[in-house]
Every structure is written in C-alpha cells, then in structure tokens.
Amino acid sequence: MPFKNKEDQKTWRKKWWASLTPERKREKQDKANERARAVKLFLANYKLGKGCADCGYNSHHSALEFDHIEGEKDFNVCFAKSVAQAKKEIEKCEVVCSNCHRVRTYNRIYPCKPDIFEQTYEPVL
C-alpha cells in the first residue's frame, strides 16, 4: 500500500502488525528469514564464481565485495530483500577482493595526489 507520507505508512504498518496473531507473525518472520538466507547464499555463490576482477582471488566469499562502477548506487547489495533485487543492483558492480576495493576507492578519490615529500624537502646529499 503506497503512502506519500512516511509517517502515515509507519502508523499503518504498526497497526497492521499489531493486528496479526502470534502464529501469523511467526509465519511472516520465518518467510522473511528464508528469503534472507536465499539472498545471502546467492550472493556468496555469485562472488565465489566471479572472483576478484583485479587479482583473481576467490578463496572465501566474505573477502569479496561488490564495487559499484556503473550507474547510480541505489543501496548496498547485501541489503537486498530478494534475489531479483540483488541481481538488478549487481548489474552496476564488479566483484573485487577487499584489498583491491580499497585501492580502487583510494584511486577514485585521490586520482593524482602529488608527492608532498618531494615538493617540500630537498634531497640530502
């Protein structure tokens, strides 16, 4: 149910959740947990299958990350609520290991940082 006002949406959702029976709440939570497990498993297998685009590392999925390189980043891939939503966001990404991701990000932020040491000190002879 779309709401223009976020507060109205929160109020409606709270009222709806309170109206559910404990069994129905448990059922909803179990389904949400099942979806979350499916997304996590998909992401882990996807990352291991691709490996790092820079160095080729593919030993453990937790050391691999999604680097957004194209388009507008809508959210972090790990926060996807479904596999379809994750796939849509992954289209904008490359899989890289955490070390290569840090280097890429640094190079994006500081593309041609001058060497301050060379500019301020004369070499000792």
3-state secondary structure of 2: coil
Question: For the whole model, what pTM was predicted?
Answer: 0.75
pLDDT tens track for 67-81: 999 888 899 999 999
pLDDT tens track for 80-119: 999 999 999 999 999 999 999 999 988 888 766 566 666 6
User: Which pLDDT value is given to residue 67?
Assistant: 93
Q: How far, in Å, CA of 35 to CA of 71, rounded?
A: 26
Is residue 39 a contact partner of residue 80, using CB atoms and an 8 Å limit?
A: yes
The domain ranges of the chain are 6-111
The answer to whether residue 37 scores a pLDDT higher than 90 is: yes
